[in-house]
Amino acid sequence: MDNLFFITLGFIFLGALLSNLTKWRKQDRVLKAINGFHTTIEMQSCKKIWGKTTIHSNGMELHFSREIHNSHGNVVNSYILYREDIDQIRAIYRYQNELSEENINLRNRELKDTFSPSLWPRVKRRLNIFFNNFSDAIGEALNVFLTRMKGGKGGMIFSTQGDYLKKMGTTALSAVGNAYDPILEQYINQRVVVRLNDETKDEFCGFLKEYSSAWISVLDCHLTKNKELALDDIEHLTLLRDMDFSYMLYEGDDDHFILEVIIRYFGARPLELIEIVGKKYHRPINKTLKHEQSISLSLENLPNAAYENLAEDLLPLEFEMVGSDRREGESPESNTVYQSILPNFTLKYKVTSIGDVYLPRTLAVLRHSSS
């Protein structure tokens, strides 16, 4: 075999390696913005999952803030969504009041770049549009090159691998950007209204940040949602910026344990507390809190089995989860030791909060411009 054969073979090998590395590293340009952030994923089945998000090229993973027992009794620390699972997502929410100090700073920089983008983001976007518009033309040029090479030495390899090489080249090019949409492009960094084409017809009004062939992101929306909060999730309670929780656990007169829960609210919009529920437990609340108001709740008849090994000299047991803006002294990690003795109850409430929304384009449609 002559040198051209080995050059041709090396070209195919290096091209295949580049193509595979590109696909391995490639992330959806909308979803990669939530990598490392706490988000709430709402499935089309209405199931909701909360955790710290990791984006991969072939899926995503939500890391829970505490151990959870699944329906089979196994301890699980995360939830992994593959591509077929991602297709069942209805919406992903990134709430401003559920972010760490580091992530709130990252989000603020993202908002600043959206409201008043600097020169480099604009130039980068123009380059992406350029490669999107001309990727087909480059692919055709590659096809012509391969056709001509079939006639030379090493033509047998190019003849059998031509279609593969063309596909390989266009795969590498597609990593530069995703499908260009003229309508969406003209509203980038502008306020818009995006509607979900499902039974709810929900609308989200905010700033169009980014889109890809599969996803669209809308920032700084006012979201009025029914939400759920696990009262034994210490990390989640501590992250909240508009709610503080104080707990006191003690033994009542009838040898049953009682958990006193004080909720202090610091949000701008009214907080509608609906109920606390658990396995065979229901505590209606039906109270509304305004800014800097609080409420004290006594949760009685707690399951004694959870406290059989609890030393009596620890009672009454008091601790609190305070937002970072109001926190003084000890770090929130010191409260995690109490997590195992808290009942697995869920607080249901409704509130309007600021957040960012990430929607699948199979459901979401940009319907209106706004102001």
Q: pLDDT tens-digit profile of 94-107?
A: 999 999 999 999 99
Q: What is the pLDDT of residue 172?
A: 45
For the chain, the distance separating the N- and C-terminal CA atoms, rounded to the nearest angstrom, is 68
What pLDDT sits at residue 152?
53
Contact 276, 347 (CB under 8 A): yes
Task: Please check the confidence at residue 12 and state whether its pLDDT lies above 60.
Answer: no
The winner for highest mean pLDDT among 168-182, 207-221, 310-324 is 207-221
Closest CA relative to residue 241, chosen from 221, 259, 267:
267
Q: Are strands 281-289 and 364-369 parallel, antiparallel or unpaired?
A: unpaired
Average pLDDT in the 73-90 region? 93
Q: Which residue has the higher pLDDT, 154 or 143?
A: 143
Burial class of residue 243 in the structure, from the number of CB atoms within 10 Å of its CB (0-12 exposed, 13-18 middle, 19+ buried): buried
Determine the pLDDT at residue 123: 75
User: Beta-carbon neighbour count of residue 183 at 10 Å?
Assistant: 8
pLDDT at 18: 53
pLDDT given for residue 167 in this prediction: 53
The string of pLDDT tens digits covering residues 13-70 is 565 555 555 555 578 889 999 999 999 999 999 999 999 999 998 899 999 988 888 8
Greater confidence (117 vs 36) lies with 36
Mean pLDDT (whole number) for 165-184: 58
Rounded to the nearest integer, the mean pLDDT of the chain is: 82
80-90: average pLDDT: 94
Task: Note whether 138 and 146 are within 8 A (CB).
Answer: no
- CA 276 to CA 348: how far, in whole Å? 6
- Do residues 125 and 208 make contact, with C-beta atoms less than 8 angstroms apart? no
Does residue 5 register a pLDDT over 60?
Answer: no
Residue 206 pLDDT more than 50? Answer: yes
Tokens for 211?
């889109």
Residue position matching structure tokens 């009214």: 270
pLDDT of residue 361: 95
- Residues 231-254: what's their mean pLDDT? 89
Which residue's entry shows tokens 């199931």?
A: 47
What is the mean predicted confidence (pLDDT) over 202-211? 96
| Separation CA 169–CA 146 (nearest Å) | 11
Average pLDDT value for residue range 350-368: 96
- pTM for this one? 0.81
Q: What is the pLDDT of residue 77?
A: 93
The answer for residues whose C-beta is within 8 angstroms of residue 125's C-beta and 6 or more apart is 188
Q: For the chain, what is the radius of gyration of the CA atoms? A: 27
- pLDDT band at residue 176 under the 50/70/90 scheme: very low
Q: Does the pLDDT at position 131 exceed 80?
A: no
Per mean pLDDT, which range of 20-29, 36-45, 227-236, 333-342 is the poorest? 20-29
Q: What percent of the chain has pLDDT over 90?
A: 50
Tell which wins on pLDDT, 229 or 148.
Answer: 229
pLDDT at 263: 97
Distance CA 356, CA 17 (A): 37
CB atoms within 10 A of CB 258: 17
Average pLDDT in the 303-318 region?
71
